[in-house]
Amino acid sequence: MFSDTSKNGEYNFDKYKISSSLTNNLKTFKSIFEDDDMLRTRVCKNKNTAFLVFYIDGMVKTDTVNSSVIKPLIELTGENDYTLDDVASYLLYAGEIKKSDNLDDIITSMLYGDTILFKEGVPSALIINTKGWETRGVSEPEN
C-alpha cells in the first residue's frame, strides 16, 4: 500500500513533512499512496484561499464527506480569510474535528476513515471524523 517501508515492514514517513503549500502536500500524499487507487483528493477554492481534502474511498461515509466537508467549503463566499480553527468551529458539520501537524497521526487517522483537510498557507491539517466503512452482515453458511 505505501511506497516507503522499512526492512521490518513498518512504514517510514520520516522523509516527508507537512507543508504550508497545498501543492507540496498533494505531492507528499500521492507519493506515499502511489500504489493505492483508493486515495481521493479534492481541491476547493474561493476568492481568498484554497483547501485540499484527502480521504480513502471505502473507509468514509462519502455522503458525509460531500455534505459536511466539501459542500461548506465550496459555498464559502465573501472576503473572509478563514483560519483552520474557524473552519473547524463554524463551517464544517462534523461531530469530531481535531487539528494536527503530525504526519503519522494524519495518515493513521485517514486509514481509519477520517477525512483530512489542508488549507493553503497552513502547515497543519484538520482530521475530520467521517468513518463509515461498509460492513457485511452475519449470515448462516450455505451447505
- Residue 23 CB coordination number (10 Å): 12
Contact indicator for 104, 114 with CB cutoff of 8 Å: no
pLDDT score recorded for residue 6:
46
Coil, strand, or helix at residue 104? helix
Phi-psi label, residue 116: left if phi above 0, alpha if psi -120 to 50, beta otherwise: beta
- Indicate the average pLDDT of the chain: 85
Per-residue pLDDT averaged across 69-73, rounded?
Answer: 91
Over pLDDT 70: what percentage of the chain?
81
Provide the 10 A C-beta neighbour count for residue 83: 12
pTM exceeds cut of 0.95: no
The count of C-alpha atoms lying within 13 angstroms of the C-alpha of 44, restricted to the half-sphere facing its C-beta, is 20
